[in-house]
Amino acid sequence: MLSEMDSVKESDIALRGSNITLSFGGVNALLDVNFQIFEQEILAIIGPNGAGKTSLLNCINGFYRPDKGSILFRGVDLTKIPSHKIARMGIARTFQNIELYTGLNTVHNLMAARHNFMRHGVFDGAFYFGRARSEIAEHRERVEDIIDFLDLTPIRNVEVGSLSYGNRKRVELGRALALEPQVLLLDEPMAGMNVEEKEDMARFIIDILELKKTSIVMVEHDMGLIMDISDRIIVLDFGSKIAEGSPSEIMQNPEVLKAYLGTKS
C-alpha cells in the first residue's frame, strides 16, 4: 500500500480522475471529484446511499460521460472512449444488480466474456475449424483457470439462473476476470450474502490482488470488511469527496462521522 501521498510516483498510479463532475437534470451526482488508483491496491469507495459511488464507477468504465473532468488510464482519457473498448483496454467490473446470461451455464457465461478477445472470422467460427478451433481452445483454457481459481467446479455446468445468489455473484466475478483486467471495479460484491459467502468473496478479492496483481476499486457497505481488506478509502457525500486515507484515518475522520452518524464535526 502507498500510504504517503507525497512520495507517490507517476508510475505507481494505474488510473487518475481529475475534477469529475456529473449531473442529472440539474442535480449533481458528482462534483469536482479527484482520485487516484494505485498499482496493486484495494481502494474502497464508501458513502451514504446516493453519495455518487456507483456513478463514479460508471464514469470510469464508460457507462456515463462526465460533464467535466478527465479519467486517465495509461495516459489515455477514458471519457472519450466507448465502454466496450475500455473493457478491452483492461478495465472490468461487476454490477450492483447481477447481470448474467441466466439461461446459460457457468462455463458459457465466462466464455461470453472472452468475446472481446476473439479474432477468428464468421466462416471459421461457423464451421469450427482452422484458426477458430485453436483460438476457442485457448479461450476455454483461460476460462478453466478462472473456474479453478474461484472454486466454481461444482457449478461449472449448472444454468446460472438456478444458482444461489452467492454463487451468481461469484460467477459474475469470474466473468469480470475473464476480461483479464488490470483494474477491476466491484460494485457491492458482497451485498445480500451471508457471513460465510462474504468471507469467501473477501478471500477471492485478496487473491486477485496478490496473485493476479490487479488493482481493485470496491464499492461496499459492509464497513467491517472494508476496514479489514482495503489499503485506502475514499468517502463521498452528496457527490463530493469529503475524505481520503487509510482505514484507521477514515475511522477517526470527523467529516466521515458526520456523514454517517450525523455527529457534529
DSSP line for 217-247: EEE-S-HHHHHHH-SEEEEEETTEEEEEE-H
99, part of any domain: no
165 and 189 co-located in one domain:
no
Q: Which residues pair with 45 in a beta bridge?
A: 219, 234
pLDDT tens profile 172-212: 999 999 999 999 999 999 988 999 999 999 999 999 999 99
| CB-CB neighbours of 217 under 10 Å | 25
116 contact partners, CB below 8 Å, separation of at least 6: 84, 87, 88, 179
- What gap in Å lies between CA 84 and CA 116, rounded to an integer? 8
- What gap in Å lies between CA 242 and CA 259, rounded to an integer? 9
Looking up residue 221, the CATH number of its domain turns out to be 3.40.50.300
Domain boundary among 180, 215, 244: 180
Domain range holding 153? 104-180
Number of domains in the chain: 2
pLDDT tens profile 55-110: 999 999 999 999 999 999 988 999 999 999 999 999 999 988 888 988 999 999 99
Backbone angles phi, psi at 87, to 5 degrees: -60, -40
> What's the predicted TM-score (pTM) here?
0.88
213, part of any domain: yes
190, part of any domain: yes
- Please tell me what DSSP assigns to residue 120: -
Q: For the chain, how big is the Rg over CA atoms in Å?
A: 19
- What gap in Å lies between CA 209 and CA 70, rounded to an integer? 26
95, part of any domain: no
Q: In the prediction, which pLDDT does 263 show?
A: 58
pLDDT tens profile 130-161: 566 667 788 888 999 999 999 999 999 999 99
48 and 86 co-located in one domain:
yes
263 and 189 co-located in one domain:
yes
End-to-end CA distance of the chain: 28
